[in-house]
Structure 1
């Protein structure tokens, strides 16, 4: 692909008419050849319209063991590990879940249900058969204080959920909240509950008012604070202890307090009292867990420990160096295998008898949910995600060194100082924000702090900054400032697809100093664009078909609009609302496949239809004949400028020149002219983890649309790709089509924007259409809208001239 998602125009063809029912001569020939020649047809791939999650599995926070499955809630994702298959699977709305952001988990073995509680209070019950039952009682519960979920424990068909609203009791069979014990502190004060445990006929709750207990009986009203009794260890020092961990172990209540150690309740009658574990002190009390007969204790910065009943002391199980700085949770198998949710190392598996060198279990996923910029490229068949960035509103750096990660052949590779600690392998640059690739596949990245990075692989890179010989890049700070080297701010880069030269924006906000440059990779030389007004404070950039750059002006400091530069005449052009922009607040600029320039603004989108005007006006010394125009689309009962009431943050162009728009309110797909809305995805009708879209990119080779949100990355299998060279008809998916399949069949690798006819094996026309770029999609319906019968169908395609023909077979199975 070219810059951040690029276009193509759909053309109309006259080879077929709607009422034709016979095949032209060339198609007849290919029909006969199709009967005699083997045609590659039995392919399998992602279904069109399907979604895939790319959420990080690093930083696990909690575990729930459910037979062969170990469920893991991580900071930005939720997944399970299948112990018998040694596989992982991310879970999301596409699997029937109702929400995102898992706060607590617990498994009820009696009903074979997993209780999933989300940060907002929504609850899902996952059954053994894969079914999901949603309970919204806690979600809908109004409160004057912010809801926060701590832990959930299951006992006798009830799930006790610790929250800032108190103890919420969920009936798993009835799937409803039975009670909420809130104002049960001393004198009826409202409590926060952290954890709950039931011993015999008594419920214990660790709360903001200490540990409270109440008797479970039909004769006792636990909604009345007088039914609860303070029953916790006596504080021995200030500040008073907060007991956030509470479990039952061998008939005893056991609790852990941050910085104050582990205590357990033992004895009967007058001897009943809380006793401290002598060596049970640590830092933050992260987790108490009873697993396979052991009481496991996890404090931050220390070994994973277990309670040794004969001695009454804690004994080390796994060393701190092995489990990481934060062992957020752990479970033990009966064979002695340990699974540890290490916040800084991932999900770890320690084989029986092993205390070092654990197996790291991670789904194939990026290292972080932070996705600031995206770049897809069909030549290298890669998608690169840049996890740095800066504030577009005020230009402030994020000061992140989280590198970038790359998706190729359905595998993610992370490039950071952690994965490649030697600076000769990977230079740990600040705030990688955007990127571009030259025709030979070389990746150029914009660092908002450390200049320009040319990347050809590990150990094969060049960095260009303020002190690189010949580099015109400069810092936004005075040369006398000691932080000067860390403020060489490159916001964006764009490669000219013809010359392979790279345009570079160096924002420094110093009036009268150049900020736009063209880099020639072959000899590492630079063209310096004169310091025209505003060129020191640009943001995003693309290159038109004439090699001229178009850039948005930064929104910082009240600067706005679009600038373009004609390289031949060295003349700048400025565009604002006076030249047709719907808003001077600019977020994105891209070139589509017919060469038009599209911009995303704070009030919809606009297009400059004929960039050749720039060349003509510059050479003739005349003003531009036209400015930007606003596409108009149907909205309700009227016609309005497209997305006129939306902030369009990013634009991507698919293989059919259709426009994908990212907004704070979801993802849109429009036709090639942006005059008709085709799709609108939000968290309500898709697996998007958030409605806030940050960036978009389309892989022209596959048609896959990558969507960066403020909560992580997902991709959507689009129906438009680009065929490079002669058509191959290489991929039919799914094939064969099973009786229960209700989706869309796709054939990729056909001639771009091809004419398509689908016939049965006898040559009777079933359906006709046009390809979207290099991909044909078919909903298995005939011209009358009926699902076709079982059989083998031929997909016959050609370009408008009847050339670049292709024949594919699709086998359809019906009940």
Structure 2
């Protein structure tokens, strides 16, 4: 206990801070198929994927996850090592960041290497950890740094190259009083580990020249592996070759008195004297690459590139148990879409300039009832580069997925049934004048309207806008030739689509700004130029709000088109920036930001994703910044936002980044048509809930919620005697307001902090919620019991 307390006190003194636990409002959905490194200790196996970790109890088989939700950075992990003596896991990153994870879940960020200005960022990758006598020797691409695990602080750094130069260190080993160092191109070197002046490069001696990937002590023996794939014993500072592998080992480590060597297709376990005692290999069932391996209770645990961790026993080394937490196939979700209590992910992609190559075949993932279903490419009718998703609201089991090369894939009940191309649909390929046989059907955004028609966009085709009726299998196409005479050269592609009122369809284009097309009158217009107040013609995202205002995200900032109703007939259409006051100075909202996505929630508030500044949550008019989430203040694994999708029923916001998927419970739900299903929760409010008296109504874990409200309501809260306690009205009392209301309504949800009109927390008793729809005059009364 004393040691644990000392750790925390030292950490608070020595480091920038303790990582926060965001598990109350946030949830993470990371991929664990590709394992970077494994470690063992205290009857657990630790496995690191790209930027998340899971633990596996070898006796209970229990799996626990450690992600950005628990406080990890979200950066790319390069290696991990568990210290049994100190009860902590050390995580090394490609950036030089180190994080220390204690057994109780506490996480400390160690930034000394990351922020070291005298070392180039490209040399800071953590290659290996070697624990000896309470010290952790950290191998990097610049040299060796020493970290005291007992004091939780850095010691010296050794630059062991000629003349004190910075050279890449693969591994270190302490053997017979000396530290041996395997370097990437400067041979094996050693120095007296007790020498107090190891920062002097002259104290280091080269014993063997060449390039080495590993140096490991196993009992009374020392082994090294060279770049030429030869494993040797180091005897009196000379190499005694023992074995040449078919391929270069991926990982070499010492576990107790065993040497474990991992190749892409094999794992070999040797005893101290290099007698092979166990082996494991890939097979037809698990055709994957091995990355690392460890042993525990004579079982081998193998990290793989595509199958998580494989466990095998000495009795049958070719029978594997798969240890794999539930999660999506990859962290690189390109587009996401919620609907029918599901979340769909695609992994296809195209460049900023809408180049589809190289085509990928990563399949799709579906989250349903907190479980993931991953559908591989070979089950998707050869459709590659799957991008946008459209769920049929009239038949939710029917989903259409755009391929930015092969057309549109139709799925029914999670099974691929039809791939629509130019031969079986109204879709069209781009036409190359000198290659009439070339086929490339570049579908991007698709969206259903209220009548059940699906609208979809085809890049580099004359009839770029098409509709499809799933009930009749009828296709219609609409030409943009009036605005874009040459479809192949006049436009690169369309990133987003909105279905508006009166036949209006809105398109986000690469070269032509925002295009408005009326499918009833077949009229077309656009805004793209500086004269129209557009910061750029390159539009990445658009979103219509409940007031029929079009929010426009470009690669250089944000704009709003207020006059959408008369856009087609307006001879001089223009857009407006949102001007806010910062310290009393008028400032353009999101000026010069590369905006990647915009979504409107049930409260008409705006979620705006950016390329490198995280995600913003604005009030309906953009004047209030409710949240800005970045990697510094939230579990976002990256500030590069790929896509956003909002579950209108729960208010949960799903955020895809280039390093993984997370979600945030915002509470901004969609209004209902009637008050029939309105309810109050939690009910009763018990003392142990501790949810009353808070001022931050944006934290939906606090306060009393009334859900299922219609679009325009007034809600009065009274005590049982009829005395008014609190009151709120839609569009007036909003959570984002600076008025700090005790009771506020956003969309279909109201939140009350349990305070009365005088600002005091109410007493125990029964309270009435008197709900009135101001449009339909429907009313409803709900009862709430509070016990304090």
What interval of TM-score do these two structures reach, taking the shorter chain for normalisation? Answer: 0.7 to 0.9
What secondary structure is seen at the aligned counterpart in 2 of 1:191?
A: coil
Cα distance, 1:612 vs structure 2: 3.2
- Paired with 1:120 and 1:810, the residues of 2 have a C-alpha distance of 53
Residue 681 of structure 2 is aligned with which of 727, 732, 739?
Answer: 732
- Paired with 1:81 and 1:762, the residues of 2 have a C-alpha distance of 57
Given that residues 652 and 660 in structure 1 are in contact (C-alpha distance below 8 angstroms), is that contact kept between their aligned partners in structure 2?
yes
In the other structure, the counterpart of 2:597 is 650
Given that residues 730 and 748 in structure 1 are in contact (C-alpha distance below 8 angstroms), is that contact kept between their aligned partners in structure 2?
yes
- Note the 1:677-688 alignment, pairs <5 A: 677-688=625-636
Residue 118 of structure 1 is aligned with which of 80, 93, 97?
Answer: 93
Does residue 197 of the first structure (1) align with residue 173 of the second (2)? yes
Given that residues 342 and 368 in structure 2 are in contact (C-alpha distance below 8 angstroms), is that contact kept between their aligned partners in structure 1?
yes
- Paired with 1:145 and 1:660, the residues of 2 have a C-alpha distance of 33
- Paired with 1:201 and 1:792, the residues of 2 have a C-alpha distance of 75
Residue 507 of structure 2 is aligned with which of 529, 544, 551?
Answer: 551
In the other structure, the counterpart of 2:730 is none
- TM-superposition CA deviations, 1:392-449 (whole Å, max 9, x none): 32534341111221222222222222xxx3xxx4223121121222322232221110
Given that residues 255 and 294 in structure 2 are in contact (C-alpha distance below 8 angstroms), is that contact kept between their aligned partners in structure 1?
yes
- Paired with 2:412 and 2:433, the residues of 1 have a C-alpha distance of 32
Given that residues 649 and 693 in structure 1 are in contact (C-alpha distance below 8 angstroms), is that contact kept between their aligned partners in structure 2?
yes
Distance 1:309 1:98, change over 3 A: closer
- TM-superposition CA deviations, 1:131-153 (whole Å, max 9, x none): 22332221221214612221111
Given that residues 719 and 767 in structure 2 are in contact (C-alpha distance below 8 angstroms), is that contact kept between their aligned partners in structure 1?
yes
Given that residues 356 and 404 in structure 2 are in contact (C-alpha distance below 8 angstroms), is that contact kept between their aligned partners in structure 1?
no
Which ranges of structure 1 fall in alignment gaps of 5 or more residues?
A: 1-45, 235-239
Higher relative contact order (CA 8 A, sep 6+): 1
Residue 258 of structure 2 is aligned with which of 294, 299, 302?
Answer: 294
- Note the 1:602-751 alignment, pairs <5 A: 602-614=555-567, 622-623=569-570, 627-664=574-611, 665-725=613-673, 726-729=675-678, 732=681, 738=688, 743-745=701-703, 747=705, 749-751=707-709
Residue 148 of structure 2 is aligned with which of 162, 167, 171?
Answer: 171
Cα distance, 1:168 vs structure 2: 0.8
Does residue 504 of the first structure (1) align with residue 456 of the second (2)? yes
- Paired with 1:363 and 1:328, the residues of 2 have a C-alpha distance of 18
Distance 1:761 1:211, change over 3 A: farther
In the other structure, the counterpart of 1:569 is 521
Which ranges of structure 2 fall in alignment gaps of 5 or more residues?
A: 1-20, 695-700, 728-742
Given that residues 751 and 805 in structure 1 are in contact (C-alpha distance below 8 angstroms), is that contact kept between their aligned partners in structure 2?
no
- Paired with 1:479 and 1:450, the residues of 2 have a C-alpha distance of 20
Cα distance, 1:682 vs structure 2: 1.0
Distance 1:733 1:356, change over 3 A: farther
- Paired with 2:580 and 2:205, the residues of 1 have a C-alpha distance of 65
Distance 1:145 1:642, change over 3 A: closer
- Paired with 1:287 and 1:765, the residues of 2 have a C-alpha distance of 70
- Paired with 2:44 and 2:769, the residues of 1 have a C-alpha distance of 43
What secondary structure is seen at the aligned counterpart in 1 of 2:458?
A: strand
- TM-superposition CA deviations, 1:440-495 (whole Å, max 9, x none): 22322211100122222344522211222x5241234458466x23x211122121
Given that residues 564 and 573 in structure 1 are in contact (C-alpha distance below 8 angstroms), is that contact kept between their aligned partners in structure 2?
yes
- Paired with 2:571 and 2:241, the residues of 1 have a C-alpha distance of 82
In the other structure, the counterpart of 1:533 is 483
Distance 1:740 1:522, change over 3 A: closer
Distance 1:633 1:323, change over 3 A: same
- Paired with 1:320 and 1:702, the residues of 2 have a C-alpha distance of 44
How large is the RMSD of aligned CA atoms in angstroms? 3.0
What secondary structure is seen at the aligned counterpart in 1 of 2:38?
A: strand
Given that residues 456 and 466 in structure 2 are in contact (C-alpha distance below 8 angstroms), is that contact kept between their aligned partners in structure 1?
yes
Q: Aligned pair count?
A: 726
In the other structure, the counterpart of 1:772 is 746
Does residue 277 of the first structure (1) align with residue 236 of the second (2)? no
Cα distance, 1:746 vs structure 2: 5.8
What secondary structure is seen at the aligned counterpart in 1 of 2:114?
A: helix
In the other structure, the counterpart of 1:226 is 202
Cα distance, 1:610 vs structure 2: 4.7
Does residue 434 of the first structure (1) align with residue 388 of the second (2)? yes
With 315-324 and 129-138 compared, the bigger mean Cα shift is at: 315-324
- Paired with 1:812 and 1:601, the residues of 2 have a C-alpha distance of 51
In the other structure, the counterpart of 1:474 is 429
In the other structure, the counterpart of 2:300 is 338
- Paired with 1:788 and 1:167, the residues of 2 have a C-alpha distance of 61
With 79-88 and 738-747 compared, the bigger mean Cα shift is at: 738-747
- TM-superposition CA deviations, 1:227-274 (whole Å, max 9, x none): 222234x7xxxxx4x2222222112222223442222234x7xxx743
Q: TM-score, normalised by structure 2?
A: 0.85
Given that residues 503 and 520 in structure 2 are in contact (C-alpha distance below 8 angstroms), is that contact kept between their aligned partners in structure 1?
no
Cα distance, 1:162 vs structure 2: 0.5
- Paired with 1:126 and 1:755, the residues of 2 have a C-alpha distance of 49
Cα distance, 1:661 vs structure 2: 0.6
